[in-house]
Amino acid sequence: MPTYLRYALTSLILLATPFVSVLILIWVARKVIARMQDRLGPNNSGTWAGPYALFQTLADAIKILTKELIIPDGADRWVFLAAPIVVLGAALLVWLVIPFGPTLQGMDPDIGIFYVVVITPFALFAMIMAGWSSRNKYAALGTFRAVAQIISYEIPQFLSLLIPIMLTGSLSLQNLVLAQQLPFVLVLPIPALIYFLAMTAEVGRLPFEQAEADAEIVAGYFTEYSGMMFGSFYLAEFINNFSVSLVFATLFLGGWRGPWVMEIPALGPVWLFLKGFMVFLVLMLFWGAMPRLRIDQILNINWKFLTPLALVMLIVVAWVNRLAFDQGATTLVARAPWLLGANLVVGLATVGLLRLSSRRAQHRRDAQSLELLHE
């Protein structure tokens, strides 16, 4: 096959796959959350939408395409119209560097992991564009929250990413997958947890859903959007959720690695999508079960807990990794027990400090209550 034709076919597949996946995942999210909340979810009552209402998402997509596009008076027209394009483009560009198999990848730059770190927050620029151009106070408030939340959580996310980079000595996502003879989540559970929480905050999934907060500020930064412009934000949200799930699976769950992949390379995307789907289900469980935190609580978790913990883990893993190497553990598999032990020690110390801090806070509250009673 000619090179240009192969690139064109790969691009078409990479563009089509997110949209097809999202049509299915929206239906899955509705079903999962409906069961968690004791509701039916999409069903066959009323107009028939296929077996188990599988075509309901497609019907919703057709319906939203026919809705009128309304631009508010006083809005910055071109910025208002560009924001949905930017947010959707940022969601799709991540797929270019995700390795779906030993040879199936849009491109494999030497700095692939930094490409993901840079492209993913591009959604923040779309939020700023949407909130500022709408001339709506609720949209502006959602934008302010999004800026404070996403920028702050970029720090522990980046610090946790430095740990697998340090262990493998590469910034290529394909090399990171190849290095995981053991999935990093088994060797580095705390950095994996830090990255997962920061990732959840970055895509605005509950309990970090402050940029939208429909119960408080209507719909946040896209309050004024209608029709397919609103649909673009909704679509990008689900694509981002699945994209970051695939990135997490690539970084910490072994990516496309699995049984018989080397013999049958076509199994690579299957294993990656299964792992990404499991991460996506956890995000959906958060969506259906977690309460929304206040913005001050969200920022406190980041600056007072995740960021210091990520710094401690970076220092500890670097030291233990070097110590294990000096003791003759020259392979990553050989150093795995050392690294896991270091994670367990830091985890136990963190739990102890949290319990001590909780007790002191409770003592302060009890003392304040006694003072109020005496008064």
Q: What is the reported pLDDT for 45?
A: 53
Q: Which amino acid is residue 147, in one-letter code?
A: V
Determine contact, residues 92/242, Cβ cutoff 8 Å: no
Tokens (6 digits) for 189: 């559970």
Q: Which two tokens stand for residue 179?
A: 């290095």
What pLDDT does residue 216 have?
A: 67
Q: Which 8-state DSSP code applies to residue 221? A: G
> How many angstroms separate the CA atoms of 305 and 44, rounded?
46
Contact 95, 243 (CB under 8 A): yes
Query: 258 — phi, psi (to 5°)?
Result: 180, 175
Tell me what pLDDT residue 343 has: 92
Please give the pLDDT value at position 196.
Answer: 93
At 363, give phi and psi (nearest 5°).
Answer: -65, -40
The per-residue b/e assignment along 202-225, b for 16 or more CB within 10 angstroms, e otherwise, is bbbbbbbbbbbbeeebbbbbbbbb
pTM: 0.88
Characterize 20-29 residue by residue with b for buried, 16 or more Cβ atoms within 10 angstroms of its Cβ, and e for exposed.
ebbbebbbeb
| Contact in structure between 90 and 119 (CB atoms under 8 Å) | yes
Q: What pLDDT was estimated at residue 191? A: 92
* The predicted structure's pLDDT at residue 219: 67
Q: Would you give per-residue pLDDT tens digits along the chain (375 residues)?
A: 566 566 667 667 777 788 788 888 888 888 888 888 777 666 655 566 777 777 888 888 788 888 777 787 777 788 888 888 888 888 888 888 888 888 777 777 888 888 888 887 777 788 888 878 888 878 878 788 888 888 888 899 989 999 999 888 888 888 898 888 888 999 999 999 999 999 888 887 778 776 666 666 666 677 778 778 888 888 888 888 888 899 999 999 988 888 888 888 888 888 999 999 999 988 888 887 888 788 888 888 888 899 999 999 999 999 998 898 888 888 888 888 899 999 999 999 988 988 888 888 888 887 887 777 776
**Separation CA 197–CA 104 (nearest Å):** 29
φ, ψ at 200 (rounded to 5°)? -65, -40
Alpha-carbon radius of gyration of the chain: 23
> Rounded to an integer, what distance in angstroms lies between the CA atom of residue 364 and that of residue 348?
25
Place of tokens 């069903």: 43
